[in-house]
Amino acid sequence: MQYIKLKHITRMFAFVLCVLSNQITWAETPPLCQAAAKEANYNTDYLDNFITLKEGNDGWLFRDTDLLNTFGPGKKGYQRLRYLTRLLNEHGTRLLMVPIPTRGISHPEMLGEINYDTKAGRVAYIAHINHLRDIGIVVPKLEALFDKQHETPLFFSRDHHWTSFGAEQVAKITAETIQQQGFYKEAEKQEYQTKRSGLIEIEGSHQKAAATICASSYDNETIDAYTTENISEMDLFGDVAEAKVVLVGTSNSNGKQDFNFSGYLMQYSGLDILNLAKSGGGYDGAILDYLNSDDFKQNPPKLLIWEVPGYYKLNSKTFYKKMVRLLKTEEHKQRVANTDKNKREVVSQ
């Protein structure tokens, strides 16, 4: 009887310590089963996205795409990106890419016993974004995210999206880059304010995959939600300005759960930003839809922000063919011809 009481007391003591230290309990984060290590068990279209799950610290789950040692396309891919950048420039649009760093290089403290060389991963990621800069694409100083360990996570522990905090940190860095662009000085500025608006509860994509393979159960993660409002004195009956900055991207920027990336961009840049990101469209869905729209054809923006999770390789030849077809329109050819003619006239004077 004394042994049973002592056993119960020991369990209660461990539970209290867990609560006091604000750690996630075993009931919320069951251990990852051995079946998760076998690629053959990822046998549906959904599960195929999470090959293969690995267990980190404090309930974190990682997949192979969180643990990359190479980033970006091959040589041909960079050449195609350079050409697309030139075509956009000929439309009067500068391309700014936001290649979101992967979870493994962002939170090495959460890797636990996972065998991953974070330093090599960061070096490869930085080489990728420097290569994008070399071919004429504007890229914020995202490597600054590695300068310190973030006490508040940039990403969810069991989901592929960033948190509202992560979205804000990237937006701050991106806004600094926006302010360095030539059009910014003359652009109309507004005042924006961000406020807490409730909670976001998310059933993480990683944990859904783990629960399916391991027949386990996880608690959903909850974070604060935020919204940004324009608090400038505005003329409600005035002309609506054409969007000078357009955001395209993934569910990180515009999805079922709103992490307020576009709101933070507006707050820190002071610019109105048209958010046309698309949930479930991959890296290419939103940008292809936008370039095919009358809005782009008639009023190309000064700056096109393309949010892209860093694990995408951007190697698809089909994607580049579609982009070129959308950008090399008759209107574009005429615009380039007129520009060349004007240049020749100036030189001859």
pLDDT digits (tens, 9 = 90+) for 123-142: 999 999 999 999 999 999 99
Amino acid 171: pLDDT: 98
The pTM for the full model equals 0.87
Cβ atoms of 204 and 159 closer than 8 Å: yes
Q: Provide mean pLDDT across the span 308-337.
A: 88
pLDDT class of 232 with cuts at 50, 70, 90:
confident
Catalytic residue among 164, 205, 251, 269: 251
d(CA 264, CA 349) in angstroms, rounded, equals 48
Q: Say if residue 15 is in the same domain as residue 162.
A: no
pLDDT class of 329 with cuts at 50, 70, 90:
confident
d(CA 235, CA 124) in angstroms, rounded, equals 48
Amino acid 239: pLDDT: 52
Amino acid 290: pLDDT: 98
Whether 17 has a pLDDT exceeding 60, the answer reads no
Catalytic residue among 91, 128, 160, 161: 161
Q: Say if residue 116 is in the same domain as residue 250.
A: yes
Q: Say if residue 147 is in the same domain as residue 7.
A: no
123 lies in some domain? yes
Tens of pLDDT along 248-288? 999 999 988 999 999 999 999 999 999 999 999 999 999 99
302 lies in some domain? yes
Share of the chain above pLDDT 90, in %: 81
Amino acid 12: pLDDT: 42
Q: Say if residue 80 is in the same domain as residue 160.
A: yes
Cβ atoms of 168 and 260 closer than 8 Å: yes
Domain limits for position 20 = 1-27
Q: Say if residue 20 is in the same domain as residue 99.
A: no
54 lies in some domain? no
CA dihedral of residues 256, 257, 261, 267 (deg, nearest 10)? 110
213 lies in some domain? no
Q: Say if residue 10 is in the same domain as residue 96.
A: no
Whether 323 has a pLDDT exceeding 70, the answer reads yes
Q: Say if residue 124 is in the same domain as residue 233.
A: yes
Domain total of the chain = 2
184 lies in some domain? yes
Catalytic residue among 66, 159, 258, 272: 159
Amino acid 335: pLDDT: 66
Amino acid 8: pLDDT: 44
Q: Say if residue 149 is in the same domain as residue 244.
A: yes
d(CA 204, CA 159) in angstroms, rounded, equals 4
Which residue, chain included where needed, has tokens 């008759």?
330
DSSP 251: T
Q: Say if residue 188 is in the same domain as residue 328.
A: yes
88 lies in some domain? yes
Q: Say if residue 226 is in the same domain as residue 313.
A: yes
Amino acid 211: pLDDT: 96
212 lies in some domain? no
Q: Say if residue 144 is in the same domain as residue 226.
A: yes
Please say if 251 is a catalytic residue.
Answer: yes
33 lies in some domain? no
242 compared with 36, residue with greater pLDDT: 36
Burial class (CB in 10 A: 0-12, 13-18, 19+), 282: middle
Q: Say if residue 135 is in the same domain as residue 263.
A: yes
